[in-house]
C-alpha cells in the first residue's frame, strides 16, 4: 500500500472553467487486480502494458486504487508531478525478491486484461484473496506457479544418445567385455 499526502490547493481549472479548492488529504493507494478490474470496466480498454493512457485515464486509475473513503473527487487533480512519479514508481515496483534469469514469458505479446489474470488465478488455484495484493506480486506468483507446474524438459536426441553411450561404456567396464 502506498500512502501519499496531496497538499491543499486553490487553482483555476481550464477544462471546467472554475476554481478548484481542496484540503490537504492523505490517500492510501493499492495497485491490485481489483483496481485494474474497476478501471477496465469503466474504460473498456486494457490497462497492463497500455502505453497510450491519457492523463485523465491515469487519474481515474488512481481513483480506482484509492482505499481511503469519502475523498473529494477534485483531490486527484491536485496531485503534483513529484507525487505522480511516486505513484508510477509504486505501480512499477515488483514488490518481491523473486527474479527470473531469462524472459520466457509466453504472454509477453498478449493483451492482458483483468479477466485473463482471474482465469490464471482459477487455473492455478490461487485464492481470490490474492486479488488485493500488489499486482506485480500477484503476477510474479502466477509466473512461479506456471514454471513450477511445467513438465520436466525432455532430453534432446543428442542428450539421449550421449546418456546411452555412457551407460553402455559403464556396463562394458563392469562386465569386462568389448561389446
Global pTM exceeds 0.75? no
Q: Is the pLDDT score of 108 beyond 60? A: no
Residue ranges making up the domain that contains 109: 1-179
Q: Residues 51-77: what's their mean pLDDT?
A: 93
Kindly state the greatest CA–CA separation across the chain: 97
Report the domain count for the chain. Answer: 1
State the pLDDT at residue 106: 54
Amino acid at each position: 500500500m502506498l500512502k501519499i499526502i496531496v497538499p491543499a490547493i486553490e487553482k483555476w481549472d481550464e477544462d471546467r472553467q472554475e476554481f478548484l479548492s481542496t484540503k490537504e488529504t492523505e490517500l492510501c493507494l493499492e495497485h491490485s487486480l481489483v483496481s485494474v478490474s474497476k478501471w477496465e470496466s469503466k474504460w473498456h480498454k486494457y490497462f497492463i502494458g497500455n502505453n497510450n493512457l491519457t492523463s485523465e485515464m491515469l487519474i481515474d486509475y488512481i481513483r480506482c486504487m484509492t482505499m481511503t473513503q469519502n475523498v473529494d473527487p477534485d483531490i486527484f487533480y491536485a496531485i503534483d508531478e513529484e507525487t505522480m512519479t511516486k505513484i508510477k514508481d509504486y505501480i512499477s515496483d515488483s514488490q518481491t525478491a523473486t527474479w527470473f534469469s531469462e524472459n520466457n514469458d509466453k504472454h509477453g505479446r498478449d493483451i492482458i486484461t483483468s479477466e485473463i489474470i482471474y482465469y490464471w488465478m482459477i487455473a492455478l488455484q490461487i485464492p481470490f484473496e490474492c486479488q488485493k495484493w500488489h499486482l506485480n506480486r500477484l503476477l510474479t506468483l502466477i509466473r512461479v506457479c506456471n514454471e513450477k507446474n511445467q513438465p520436466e524438459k525432455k532430453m534432446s536426441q543428442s542428450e539421449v544418445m550421449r546418456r546411452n553411450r555412457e551407460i553402455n561404456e559403464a556396463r562394458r567396464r563392469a562386465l569386462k567385455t568389448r561389446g
